Every structure is written in structure tokens, then in C-alpha cells.
Structure 1
Amino acid sequence: MFDPSTWDAPLALVVSALFVIVMLRANATYWLGRGIAAGARRTRLVRLMESRHYATGERWLNRWGAPAVSVSFLTVGIQTMVNLAAGATRMPLRRYLPAVTVGCIMWAFLYGTVGMIGFRAIGLLWARSPWWVLALALVVAAVAFAIVRKRDVARPEAVEPAAH
């Protein structure tokens, strides 16, 4: 299982490994966006660019530019779409690379420290009772669903009409 909290390594090595992993993933997403912009819009990949998360990522880029890339690494669910939008809009590498590097450093430190506490807490709870972990997951899923549902009801234009 991929659990960095079980790695027998100093924190600097764990954070460095996480940095490399997220840097590779973020740049792969950027280049996927470049590929989509270069012609993949005629394939099934176009669905990514029609998603609500992609639209949010593109709005962030249009509003804040390169700093949106860095800040996106402090979110869940938006960072991939911001990187994809950065590639699709052909953000110059001289702006993208520094921004993604800062974001990856923040992400690696966040997950290498606070994130590991979360891994350990879930592991300890699982050792006591897997049912508690499952119950907690259901509560988190229910809250997330309620938040998304409430947001969709508050903004009816965000809900797509049913196909007839």
C-alpha cells in the first residue's frame, strides 16, 4: 500500500519523494492540456474540458494567472483542472514552471506533515474498529453531497437540463 507514513525515512526524504510524485503528475496534466489544445478536442478527452471543475480551473487562471496554479495545490479537486487549463490555454513554461514548483513544494510539505497525521489517525482508528472508519467515510461523503447539492440548488444555472 502507498502510505508514506510507513516509510522508514527522514521527513526531508519523504517530502522530497512526495514533491517528485506531485511534480510529475502536475506536469503530465499540463502536457495533457497542451495535447488537448493541439487537437485532442475531437476525441473523448474533450469531456474533461466540459466539466464543471475544468470551468472553475479556467476561471481561476483567467482571474489570477500563474498564482492560481500555486494556490490550486491547497485545494482538493481543482488542482488537476487548473493544471489542465494551464496546458490547454498554453500558459508559457516560464510562468507555469515556477508556479507549479511552488505549488508542489506546498503540497509536499502539507501531505508530508499534516497529511501523515491524517494517515496515522485513520490507521489507528481502523485498528480499533474498521466500522468507525467506514462510518466516518459515510459522514464525510454525506456532508460533501449536501454541500454540493445545496450549491447546485442555489445556482440553478449550474445544473444541466435533462436530455430529452
Structure 2
Amino acid sequence: MLTASLLAAASSDAERHGVFTLEGFPYWIVYVAAFGIVMARAQATYWLGRGVARGVGGTRVARLLTGPRAARVIEQIHRWGPPAVTFSFLTVGVQTVVNLAAGYLRMPFARYLVALTFGCLIWAAIWTTVGTAVVWGAILLFLHQPAVLAALVVLGLATTARLLSRRRARDEDPQPQPEEV
């Protein structure tokens, strides 16, 4: 059976290379590569924000920075500064807006770089351990029980859709005004 042979090959690869590797590369090489990739991406986003602040108005990026989500992120950066950059790497989908807003607000580069470095170290650690384990687990689950993996994907998509629709409904609801006495 094809599935059994693929399962055996995947198990043998995991045993030979370890779960926290990529095609036989040791963990530290995968970690350094992930760190470099996220560092370059985040800095590119920061400098894009700086460019928008210099007067590239009317662009898609400029419109993104005037939306309600960006307004909340900008307020957090004003309030928390560099720690907002660092801790944004513990979230999914917020990092880009935080780095863009940090550039747009012209956060001093030295402060930004320190916060970014710690955030990238955290991100690389998470994705080269937990992320790699999840990928290997999904591959093995696909090879052994594809219906279970499909059900988990559908459940994840449905949950995400529900959360997004609730958030959108909440954002569209006008805030109740306090009654005057």
C-alpha cells in the first residue's frame, strides 16, 4: 500500500534527521535561517512605513495605516513603544501592521532594532520548534489518517471564519452613547 510506504519513509526521515530539522539541516541552521528571514521581512516593512510617512500618500499602504485596526495598533505603539514591537511577534497577523506603524511613526531606528531583534529571536524559536513539529505532525496525520486532518482543517477554517465575522460585526456596531443626567 502506498500510504504505508509513505508513512514508513516519513517516520524513517524523522528518526534519521530529527523533528526540528529541514532536509537534514541541524536545528541551529534552520533557526538562523528563520531569524534572518523574519529580520529582513520586518525591517523591509518598517522602512516601507518610513517611506509612507515621507509622503507616499494615496497608496494602498497609506490607506492601510488609516483603518480602524491600524489606529488601534498605532495607539498601542504610542503607549508601549518598543515592547509592542517585540511582543507583536507572539501574535499572528499583527506583526506586519506593528512594524509598518513603527516605521510610519518614525520610531527611532536604534530602539526599533533592539525590540525587533528580541522579537525575531522569539519568532524564530517558536516557528523552528512548535512550527516544525506541527508540520511534521500534519504530514504524518495526512499519511495515516487523512480524514482526521481534513476535519481539523475544516474545523480550523470554520472557527476562523466565525471569529472574523464576530469581529467584523463588533467593529460595525456603533458604540452606545452614555446617557446624560
Give the shorter-chain TM-score range.
0.7 to 0.9
Match 1:84 to one of 63, 78, 100: 100
Does residue 33 of structure 1 match 2:63? no
Q: Read off the aligned partner of 2:33 and give its amino acid letter.
A: A
Change (3 A) 1:135 1:50: farther
C-alpha distance in 2 between matches for 1:128 and 1:56: 44
Alignment correspondent of 2:75 = 59
Question: Within 5 A, what are the aligned runs for 1:1-164?
Answer: 5-155=21-171, 156-157=173-174
Instruction: Give 1:73 shift.
Output: 0.2
- Kept in 1, the 8 Å contact 2:22–2:30? The answer is no
TM superposition shift of 1:45: 2.7
Counterpart CA distance in 2 for 1:148 and 1:35 is: 30
Deviates more, 1:6-15 or 1:125-134: 125-134
Amino acid of the residue matched to residue 65 of structure 2?
M
Secondary structure (helix, strand or coil) at the match of 1:41 reads: coil
Unaligned 5+ residue runs, structure 2? Answer: 1-19, 176-181
SS of the aligned residue for 1:6 comes to: coil
Aligned residues: 155
Q: CA deviation at 1:54?
A: 2.2
Structure 1: tracts of 5 or more residues without a match: 159-164
Query: Shift in Å at residue 7 of structure 1?
Result: 2.9
Is the 1:70–1:103 contact (alpha carbons within 8 Å) kept by the matching residues of 2?
A: yes
Q: Which moved more, 1:8-17 or 1:35-44?
A: 35-44
Q: CA deviation at 1:46?
A: 2.1
SS in 2 for 1:84: helix
The 1-side partners of 2:91 and 2:68 are apart by 15
Instruction: Output the CA distance in 1 between the equivalents of 2:161 and 2:62.
Output: 26
The code of the aligned residue for 1:32 comes to L
- Of residues 67-76 and 127-136 in structure 1, the stretch that sits farther from structure 2 once superposed is 127-136
Report if aligned partners of 1:72, 1:82 keep a CA contact under 8 Å in 2: yes
- Answer with 1 or 2: which has the greater Rg: 2
Q: Higher mean Cα deviation, 62-71 or 131-140?
A: 131-140
- Indicate the RMSD between aligned Cα atoms, in angstroms: 1.9
Q: Please give the per-residue CA displacement for 1:17-48, whole angstroms capped at 9, x wherever unaligned.
A: 10000000000000010111112222233232
Distance 1:45 1:152, change over 3 A: closer
Normalising by structure 1, we get a TM-score of 0.85
